[in-house]
Amino acid sequence: MAYTSHFKLADDMILHLDTFIHGIADPFISSRYVGFVAIAAVTVYELAIKEIFLEFSSQKHKVFANFTEMYFYRINGRIKTKTIQEDYLVRFGDKYVKRFKNKINKAEKEILRRLGISILSSYNNVIEWRNQFAHQGVVPSFVTYNEVNRSYQAGKEIIKCLADTMRR
């Protein structure tokens, strides 16, 4: 399964929400959808990250694949870029950490120049919003549905950089 197939789960939900979200007059209710989108986004990010590492390791060796599957069994939202670099990629070797950093820096500059969006901020913000909603029941009052959606879409680029890093 390609890692991008996991995005369909959140993309389909967002597509459905887009049909009525702007008609909701109650700010309390619409703010809750921000939390739901953030939870769905981080869930599919996690699934994609696991898929990328598992696919990579299974191409190396069956035992390595088994270890990787068990290691990433429960990453539970621990997928910020710093964690990916310092906790996950470092276990595969420094060359993967460097490659990931280079790919992210290149994508960050390109997308920031072209679209005015920081993929690093977007990705890490979605994770932070998800954690606040899931663990504290709080949705940041300054985050809109459109912003969480835009940040989720931009954050997919981080996952793409990881997939490109782990490609043999």
pLDDT digits (tens, 9 = 90+) for 47-103: 999 999 998 898 888 888 788 888 887 787 789 999 999 999 999 999 999 999 999
Report the alpha-carbon distance of residue 22 to residue 33 in Å, rounded.
11
CB 139 within 8 A of CB 133: yes
Is the pLDDT reported for residue 34 higher than 70?
A: yes
pLDDT digits (tens, 9 = 90+) for 114-146: 999 999 999 999 999 999 998 888 887 789 999
Report the alpha-carbon distance of residue 111 to residue 44 in Å, rounded.
22
- CA atoms within 13 A of residue 97's CA, in its CB half-sphere: 13
pTM of the model: 0.92
Closest by CA position to 5, among listed 39, 55, 79: 55
Residue 155, classified by CB atoms within 10 Å of its CB into exposed (0-12), middle (13-18) or buried (19+), is buried
Domain boundaries, the chain: 3-165
CB 148 within 8 A of CB 126: yes
CB 40 within 8 A of CB 10: yes
Residue 1's pLDDT band (cuts 50, 70, 90): low
- CA torsion angle 93 99 104 109 (round to 10): 150
Residue type, 9: L
